[in-house]
Amino acid sequence: MLRLDECVIANGDFVLRANLEVADASCVAIIGPSGAGKSTLLEAIAGFRNVKGGRIFWDGEDLTKRPPGKRPVASLFQDNNLFPHLSAEQNVSLGIRPNGRVSKDERALVASALGRVGLLGMGTRKPFELSGGQQSRVALARVLVQQRDLLLLDEPFAALGPALKAEMLDLVAQLISGTNKTLLMISHDPQDARRITNKSILVADGIAHPPEPTEHLLNNPPTSLRDYLG
- Range 132-171, binding other proteins (CB under 8 A): 142, 146
In the shown chain, the binding pattern of residues 2 to 31 toward other proteins, with x for contact by CB under 8 A and - for none, equals: --------xx--------------------
The answer to whether 87 and 123 have CB atoms below 8 angstroms apart is yes
- Tell me which of 32, 37, 127, 211 binds other proteins, using CB under 8 A: 127
- Beta-sheet pairing, 27-31 with 182-186: parallel
* Residues facing residue 207 across a β-bridge: 17, 204
123 binds other proteins (CB under 8 A): no
C-alpha 70/C-alpha 49 separation (Å) is: 14
Question: Torsion angle of alpha carbons 191, 192, 196, 200, nearest 10°?
Answer: -90
Residue from 34, 35, 60, 80 touching other proteins (CB under 8 A): that is 80
98 in contact with other proteins (CB under 8 A): yes
Query: Which one, of 78, 83, 82, 139, lies nearest residue 114 by Cα?
Result: 139
Q: Which of 128, 178, 219, 223 binds other proteins (CB under 8 A)?
A: 128
Q: Applying CB under 8 A, which of residues 6, 53, 85, 103 lies at the interface with other proteins? A: 85
Query: Quick check: 121 binds other proteins (CB under 8 A)?
Result: no
Quote the longest CA-to-CA distance of the chain: 55
DSSP-derived pairing of the beta strands 150-153 and 182-186: parallel
Least distance between other proteins and beta carbon 4 (Å): 18
How long is the chain? 230
> DSSP 3-state assignment of 175?
helix
Residues 38-77 that bind other proteins (CB under 8 A): 43, 46-50, 67-70, 73-75, 77
CB of 28 to other proteins, least distance (A): 19
Among 44, 94, 183, 203, binds other proteins (CB under 8 A): 94
Helix (H) or strand (E) holding 117: none
Number of residues that bind other proteins (CB under 8 A): 34
Helix (H) or strand (E) holding 138: helix 132-146
Residues that bind other proteins (CB under 8 A): 10-11, 43, 46-50, 67-70, 73-75, 77, 79-86, 94-95, 98-100, 126-128, 142, 146
